[in-house]
Amino acid sequence: MIIAEVLAVTFTIAGLLAVITCIWLMFASLFPRFIRQAQTHCARPGKALLIGLGVGLAPFITGFLLSKPVPGRVLGWPLMFVVFTAALAGTAVLATRIGNGMPSQCDRTDPWRRSLRGSIVLAFSFLLPIAGWFIWMPLALIFGTGVTFLTLSDMRRTWKEEKEFELAEAEAIAAEEREAEARQNTEVVSS
C-alpha cells in the first residue's frame, strides 16, 4: 500500500465523520423539540435497541437487497435512505445526551456546543478499530433508529391528543355561540 492510498482512506474516513457530525448538529438545531422529547428514551437503551432492531434492520436489509437488481433500485435506495436518516436523527439525540454529560460554562450562551461536544466524542469513538467499526457504530445506529421510532410515535400520540382537545374546545365555543345567539333571538322575539 502506497502513501497515496493511505492518505485517501484517512481523508475519506475523516470527511465522513465530519459530515456525520454536521448532520447531527443540523438535526439538533432544526428539531430541538424532537431532541428534547427523545431524551426520555435514552434512559432505557435496551428498549430502543430492540425496537431499532425490529423496525430498522429489516427495512434496511430489504432496501439493500432490492437495490441490487436494476428495477429494485427505485425502491431500495429510498428505503435505505429513510432508515439511515432515522438512524442519524436518533443518533443526534445520543450525541446531545453525551454532550449534556460534559457541561461547560458556555452552554448558557451557546446551547449548540453540547451537541458539538457529544458529536465529536461519538464520532471519535467510531474510529476505534474493530470495536468502533463493528460494535459502537452499528449499535449507535440501531439505537438511533429505535429512539426515532419511539419519539415519533410519542409525538404522533401527543399530536392526536392536542387535535382532539382543540376540536373539543372549538365545539364548546361553537355551542356557546349558538346558545348566545338563541338567547339573543328569544330576547328579540319577547320584545
- The pLDDT confidence band at residue 11, using thresholds 50, 70 and 90, is very high
Does the residue 180 lie in any domain?
Answer: no
Range(s) of the domain holding residue 141: 3-151
Region 125-151: what's the mean pLDDT? 93
Residue 163 covered by a domain: no
Higher pLDDT, 131 or 170: 131
The closest of 112, 87, 155 to 25, measured between CA atoms, is 112
pLDDT at 125: 93
Give the total number of structural domains in the chain. Answer: 1
Average of per-residue pLDDT values in the chain: 89
* pLDDT at 26 (0 to 100): 95
67 lies in a domain? yes
pTM for the model stands at: 0.78
Cα–Cα distance between 117 and 139 in angstroms, integer?
20
